[in-house]
């Protein structure tokens, strides 16, 4: 009897770490489906089927669809704008540092997935929900907070004259989006050369430095 009991499979212990492979598969599936179908038209059942897992597994990892959307946004932003971009690196010249951040940000917001996500957030079905706040807190807020902290450190070192780092950070990323991002969102002139994108970022950084670099 004892030997037979020993052969019975034991249930997973509570608190056991979740499978990171399944989590990644769910996130990838969610990002694809949110972009292609929109938030409202995607169900947790569809995401589970696309990821090759059970719906229970999806809920176990993310709780609900809004939390899954927030995590998809966070993952996209962290991939394009990792926290290491905002490290101090005092030995790196200020303009070079801003150019690195600027190129990374512009490349991230101009991807087809990011443009599609922006359109989803502007749709009437979404603007009246809590989803825009979820998106803002998961993505842009983290990026701007990291950059604002970098501006404060560079101001303390005497390189910048920034009184309101949060405002300056918002201005920087707004400059970087500029006309090219709006044109991409409305589907106009989306096939510009990469050299045009580089020139746009350089001009935005130089404009920012003319406003805030300490003379």
Per-residue pLDDT at 10: 40
Contact of 94 with 83, CB cutoff 8 Å: no
Can you name the CATH fold of 9-63? Arc Repressor Mutant, subunit A (1.10.10)
Specify the pLDDT at position 3. Answer: 41
Contact (Cβ atoms closer than 8 angstroms) between residue 144 and residue 170: yes
pLDDT (0 to 100) of residue 194: 57
Residue 160: beta bridge partners?
213
**Whole-number CA gyration radius for the chain:** 22
Residues of the chain with pLDDT under 50: 1-14
C-beta of residue 199 within 8 angstroms of C-beta of residue 146: no
Q: Rounded to an integer, what distance in angstroms lies between the CA atom of residue 117 and that of residue 138?
A: 13
Sign of the Cα torsion 112, 166, 141, 125 reads negative
pLDDT score for 6: 43
Note the pLDDT of residue 68: 92
Paired tokens of 142: 């983290």
Q: What pLDDT, on a 0 to 100 scale, did the predictor assign at position 188?
A: 86
What pLDDT was estimated at residue 190?
A: 55
Q: Where are the domains of the chain?
A: 9-63, 82-212
Tokens of 50: 């696309």
List of residues 6+ apart from 183 with CB closer than 8 A: 189, 190
Dist. CA 23–CA 58, nearest whole Å: 8
Q: Quick one: tokens of 117?
A: 């996500």
3-state SS of the chain? Answer: CHHHHHCCCCCCCCCCCCCHHHHHHHHHHHHHHHHHHCCCCCCHHHHHHHHCCCHHHHHHHHCCHHHHHHHHHHHHHHHHCCHHHHCCCCCCCHHHHHHHHHHHHHHHHCCHHHHHHHHHHHCHHHHCCCHHHHHHHHCHHHHHHHHHHHHHHHHHCCCECCCCHHHHHHHHHHHHHHHHHHHHHCCCCCCCCHHHHHHHHHHHHHHHHHHHECC
pLDDT for residue 38? 83
pLDDT at 1: 40
User: What top-level class would CATH report for the domain 82-212?
Assistant: mainly alpha
């Amino acid at each position: 009897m004892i030997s037979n009991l020993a052969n019975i499979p034991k249930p997973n212990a509570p608190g056991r770490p979740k499978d990171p492979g399944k989590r990644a598969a769910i996130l990838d599936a969610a990002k694809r489906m949110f972009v292609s179908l929109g938030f409202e038209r995607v169900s947790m059942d569809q995401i589970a089927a696309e990821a090759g897992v059970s719906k229970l597994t999806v809920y176990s990892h993310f709780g609900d669809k809004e939390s899954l959307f927030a995590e998809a946004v966070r993952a996209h932003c962290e991939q394009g704008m990792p926290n290491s971009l905002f490290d101090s690196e005092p030995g790196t010249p200020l303009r070079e540092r801003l150019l690195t951040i600027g190129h990374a940000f512009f490349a991230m917001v101009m991807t087809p997935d990011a443009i599609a996500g922006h359109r989803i957030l502007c749709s009437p079905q979404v603007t009246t929900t809590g989803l825009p706040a979820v998106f803002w807190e998961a993505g842009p807020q983290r990026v701007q907070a990291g950059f604002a902290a970098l501006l404060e450190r560079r101001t303390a070192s005497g390189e910048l004259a920034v009184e309101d780092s949060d405002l300056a950070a918002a201005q920087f990323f707004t400059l970087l989006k500029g006309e090219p991002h709006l044109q991409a969102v409305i589907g106009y002139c989306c096939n510009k050369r990469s050299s045009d994108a580089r020139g746009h970022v350089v001009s935005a950084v130089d404009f920012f430095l003319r406003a805030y670099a300490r003379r």
